[in-house]
Every structure is written in structure tokens, then in C-alpha cells.
Amino acid sequence: MTTDDVLISLDQLSGVVEADAEAGIASVLPGTGLAQLGAQLAEHGLAMENLGDVDYQAIAGAIATGTHGSGATLGNLSSTLVGGQLLDGRGELVSFGVDAGAGPDDPLLRAAQVSLGALGVLTRLTLRLEPAYELHRVNVMTHVDWVLEHFEQLIAAHRSVDFYWYPRSDLAQVRMLNKPGEEPDPDLPGAVPPGRVKTDETGPSYEIIPNSRDLRFEEMEYMLPLDPSLEAFRLVRERVKDRHRHRVGWRVLVRTIAPDRAMISNAQLRPTMTIALLQNASLDHEEYFADLEPLLRAFGGRPHWGKKHSLRAPELRQLYPEWEDFLGQRERLDPERLYINDHLAQLLGLQGTARREQR
């Protein structure tokens, strides 16, 4: 793909700068890969509260786009950002959050927690962490009807739970993660699905949570208000089986996220469930995604910032109560739009391209 924009690589800005195990915080550099960060934090007796489905991203990009894992009491990665420093569009290094002596109400912190890269280049991130821990992961194949009947019990019983639904078989793969010794009683109704155990392993959290991905795929994910009855998923299932079963080559993923206070986080101020449509990259996805997107939007869905969706500023501003506050922080830090490309201009509703090109 040819572009007139400038790509900034932070790959060489990598590693843990300092860590305080007693306080449960560490400062890391923005280009640190999530796949490397876990082991580096473990050397200091620390770990991320949660991780996403994969760990190929760098920490700054994962936080900037609201990357998340699953767990009704676990926030997205952005919610663990408590401070840091960024290089703004005026060439100034600006500290925020605990790095500026401020608390969680700091407006710049709450804008930086999900920033899309529009505020500046993060040069240092201070993260809220947990003592290093292990997880016991069990994956079970069962029928999706069992999941629909017991989803509320499932998310209450486990530290983290998600499930993949396979449209062609109508089966679901339920993934349950708990700290060893904290697993629910298997006799507790709805806590453990019946079926074939596909995975049963224990290890450091940073090794157990992420999945490996060999298959290239396209993805659209929407964040909806948490509904234990899974009404939105039930309609997605019905629509996929009626219209798209012959073309869907892969699966649908359902997860949960705890609410947070980041200005444009898609889990802002509400317990959240997510529905992600995954399609093999070699197969058509446009018609499939376009047909399901209005259904997800009808439930108050907010699109994942780092995945495919069709929304632009007029629709997006209706989804975030603090949209204008975020734009105000952006304008203050980058008045010449140094960090704004055409895509960000469309998302944020900024007329034209960067002002530096208009002078």
C-alpha cells in the first residue's frame, strides 16, 4: 500500500524502565511487544492483570486501541495505564497521571488511555500491575445451546471466560481461566460445561492467556452493554445460520470486559460484552460484516478501534459522552495535526487533512 504519510516505528524503544513490585507498578517503553513484556515483568515479580486473545502487538498500540481480554471484573489493557509521558505535536514532552503527580481523574490520562495515536507519541507508559501469577486454562467443546442457557453462571464462576461459536457445527469452545486453587466447584450448576476437554494446562499468565494464530483472518468486533441473556448473540446466530452459513469459514467470539473511565474507550462506563466476527482472509467478508453491523449497532454497540467497521465521526460521537472532551485534549496537544492522517481525520471529524499540508 502506497501512502504519503510517515510511519513512526517504536520498535527500538523497548523494555521495562523501572518496576516497583511493592507498589504494583512499572514503567515500560512503548515499543515493547506484549509477547516479551510478560517475561520481563515476571523478572520483577509482576504481571499484567489480563491480556488479549493474541500478544503480537506492542504495548503502546494495544493500549491506544483499547485491546482487551475477557473477564467481567477485568478491564481492558487501557484501564491499566495510570501514567506516562508523550511527545505532543508541538514537540513537547508531556507527563500525565502518576508521572505528573495526578490521580485517576486526570483528564489527560483519561484521554491517553485510548488515544488512537491522535494525541502524540507515547514515550513511556506507567502500568498498574498484579503480583506475578499462574493460570489454569481449560477449554471444553460443547453445544452452543448449553452456553446460552448458562452464560450468566459461567461468567460469575470464573476469573475469565469466553467462547467461540462455530456456525457450521453449532458447537462452542468455552475457555475458562482461573488461578490454581480458585477454580469453581464442578458441581456448581452452570459452572463447567459438559463435553470434550480440548485443553487443560497451567502456567504463567502471560503464556496461558494468549492464543497462537496461524490462520490469517479479517475481524469486526462490537462492544455491547453486558446482557447475560445473550439476546444480541442469539440474533447474530440466527442471522448467520439463515444468510451466511455457507460463506462463514471460521467462528464468532464472545467475551466480557469490566467498565472503565477512558474518554473514548468502548467499555466506558458500562459492563460490556463483545461479539467478534472472524472470517478467513481468503474468503469474502464485506457482505457478511455489512449485514451484521447494523444488528450489533442496534444494541448500542461500539466498534473496536483496531478492527474493521464502517462508522465515522457523525455516528461515533453519539456513542461517547466525552467525545468533545477528547477532541479538546487532542487540539491542545496537536493543534497543527501533525499526528492526524486521513483515516483519523474521518474518524474524529476533522475537516481536511493535517494542517501542516495546507499551509
pTM above 0.85, yes or no: yes
pLDDT at position 353 over 90: no
Residue-number span of the structural domain to which 20 is assigned: 16-131
DSSP helix/strand/coil, 200: strand
In the chain, the number of structural domains is: 3
Rounded mean pLDDT, 38-61: 97
Query: What mean pLDDT value characterizes the chain?
Result: 96
Rounded mean pLDDT, 189-197: 97
Strand ranges of the sheet holding 16-20, from the earlier edge strand across to the other edge: 16-20, 25-28, 121-128, 81-87, 93-97
The answer on 200 and 64 residing in a single domain is no
CA 29 to chain centre: 19
pLDDT tens per residue, range 152-180: 999 999 999 999 999 999 999 999 999 99
The three-state (H, E, C) secondary structure of 273-291, written as one string: EEEEEEEECCCCCHHHHHH
Identify the DSSP state of 256: E
pLDDT at position 358 over 50: no
The answer on 123 and 34 residing in a single domain is yes
Q: Of 131, 160, 180, which residue constitutes the final position of a domain?
A: 131
- Confidence band (pLDDT; 50, 70, 90) for 359? very low
pLDDT at position 351 over 90: no
The answer on 294 and 151 residing in a single domain is yes
The answer on 68 and 215 residing in a single domain is no
Grid coordinates belonging to 132: 506475578
pLDDT tens per residue, range 312-332: 999 999 999 999 999 999 999
Q: What is the pLDDT of residue 304?
A: 99
Instruction: Note whether residue 9 is domain-resident.
Output: no
Give me the torsion for CA of 321, 327, 333, 339, rounded to 10°.
120
Q: Which amino acid is at 180?
A: P
Distances (CA, A) of 159 to 139, 188, 325: 14, 15, 34
**Which contacts (CB < 8 Å, 24+ apart) does range 12-20 have?**
13/123, 15/40, 16/40, 16/41, 16/43, 16/44, 17/124, 19/44, 19/46
- Confidence band (pLDDT; 50, 70, 90) for 340? very high
- Confidence band (pLDDT; 50, 70, 90) for 355? low
The answer on 102 and 65 residing in a single domain is yes
Instruction: Note whether residue 6 is domain-resident.
Output: no
Instruction: Say how far apart CA 343 and CA 349 lie, in whole Å.
Output: 10
% of the chain beyond a pLDDT of 70: 97
